[in-house]
Amino acid sequence: MTTYVDTSALVKLYVAEADSPDALRYLRADPVLVTCWLTVVQVRRTLARALAGADLQRSLRASEADLDAMALINPDERVWRAAADIAMETGVRSLDALHLASARMLEISDLTFCTFDLRLGQAARHLGFRVLGC
């Protein structure tokens, strides 16, 4: 099995939220995790807004280790164009469309999409992904 991890799911491993235990369970259940380089930017930004001091540094180190263990998609022109099409088709935000296009470009029939963003989850289901999180 392969799971595409979006930022809302990954951040729950470092910032205690109501769904953090679920996120941990989902992400630890699959040895093959993949995300887009966009997630690196989004995770750092989110952690910097939510944490400070030693907690921030500890979370940054943990997130970097987790991201290093994942396959990271580097969006090319094909992904950017697909994201534009997905954004028009589903109405999702631009960066969410980039996550969806990145996941779609993998062309894995049983790919799971892990997100805790309701709109993104709905769009992922619309595109045929199995969704965990919301």
pLDDT in tens, the chain (134 residues): 899 999 999 999 999 999 999 999 999 999 999 999 999 999 999 999 999 999 999 999 999 999 999 999 999 999 999 999 999 999 999 999 999 999 999 999 999 999 999 999 999 999 999 999 98
Report how many domains make up the chain: 1
Burial 34-56 (b: 16+ CB within 10 A, else e): bbbebbbebbbebbeeebeeeeb
Q: CATH code at 56?
A: 3.40.50.1010
User: 43-50 — which CB contacts under 8 Å span 24+ positions?
Assistant: 43/7, 43/10, 43/11, 43/14, 43/67, 46/7, 46/11, 46/15, 47/11, 47/14, 47/15, 50/11, 50/15
What pLDDT is attached to residue 1? 87
Q: Would you call 122 helix, strand, or coil by DSSP?
A: helix
Q: Can you give the pTM of this predicted structure?
A: 0.95
What pLDDT is attached to residue 77? 97
Full domain range(s) for residue 112: 3-132
Is the CB of residue 73 less than 8 Å from the CB of residue 38?
A: no
What pLDDT is attached to residue 6? 97
